[in-house]
Amino acid sequence: MTSRISPALSPLVPEIVALLGGIVSAVIIVLPLNTFLEFISAESIFLAPIIEEPCKAVGIIFLASRYPHVISTKKHGLILGGFAGLGFAFTENLFYATIPGTNVVARALLPVPMHIMSSGIAGLGLVYFAQRRIELRRSELGRNSSNFKLRMVGSLLTIAMLLHGQYNFLSYFGDAGSLLGLVIAVFVYYRLSKSLPENLITSIVPGPVKLLRSTVQVKVLREVVSTPKVLTLAVNGKERSTGYCIGCGRQISQSALFCDECGAPQQ
């Protein structure tokens, strides 16, 4: 039986799409817009993160919409978000390298990992969006949707913007300030990866303030238990129990602990 949940993609294609999304957003959207807004005071602190973080994720948004199973777990969100940030940072650095007086080494060591981590956090938010797409496709098979709320995506995207903004603010104090901003980004990124459960689709994300608080305190978010829907089929005159993956919706054995397709734990 072939699942209609989502088409397959070849290995590394999702990573390439995310990387290209970051590159394209830098060339077509972000750099021209930031150049136009340079006359606004403190543009890089407030407006740049608001503009850049959603734009960097354009490739991941496409994947979450069309191929949601490739970004259905925390690991997938962090990896694809990181590739988007890498593509953006690489392109941005090429642009700044043409400006006389730019410290190319400092830009390679400081903003690049910051972009990777902030985009990784935004990618975590898009895991919830991908799960919503999976649920909508499940509903075509008569299955119910769960507790998705747009707040889950917005909270993580807001944290990505805040991390980006604090880094830009501290960068006004030179390389030492940039280094401090990067340390803060690393701290939040690491703690957030600890406070979010491995199976993101079973958790409820609060607003950005409460999420940051739980992140700093390393509190694992409250989980809502979800189990695969059981379907009994007759095979060669015998009944066989099967279910659907709670991560990507593909048909699996009821006794399976993990999905062979997306790797999502089933309990």
For residue 36, with 0-12 CB atoms within 10 Å meaning exposed, 13-18 middle and 19 or more buried, which class applies?
exposed
Residue 135 falls inside a structural domain? yes
DSSP code, position 70: G
pLDDT in tens, the chain (267 residues): 334 445 567 788 999 999 999 999 999 887 787 777 666 656 667 788 998 999 999 999 999 988 988 888 888 999 999 999 999 999 988 888 888 887 888 888 899 999 999 999 999 989 888 887 877 766 654 444 455 567 788 889 999 999 999 999 998 898 899 999 999 999 999 988 877 876 676 667 777 777 777 777 766 565 544 443 433 334 344 444 556 565 555 666 666 665 666 656 565
**d(C-alpha 203, C-alpha 199), whole Å:** 8
Q: What are the CA-CA distances from residue 12 to residues 75, 134, 195 (Å)?
A: 14, 21, 28
Does 198 fall in a domain? yes
* Domain assignment present for 230: no
Q: What is the pTM of this model?
A: 0.76
Specify the pLDDT at position 235: 39
The confidence score (pLDDT) of residue 5 equals 46
> What's the pLDDT at 147?
53
96, part of any domain: yes
Is 7 among the domain residues?
no
174 Ramachandran zone, left/alpha/beta (phi>0; psi -120 to 50): left
* Residue 242 maps to a domain: no
Tell which residue, 216, 234, 189, has the closest CA to residue 78.
189
pLDDT reported for residue 165: 93
Tokens 């077509």 sit on residue? 28
Return d(Cα 225, Cα 266) in angstroms, integer.
10
How many distinct structural domains can be found in the chain? 1
Range of the domain at 188: 13-216
Q: What is the pLDDT of residue 129?
A: 86
- The per-type count for the chain, helices as H runs and strands as E runs, is 10, 3
On whether residue 243 sits in a domain, the answer given is no
Flag whether 265 is in a domain.
Answer: no
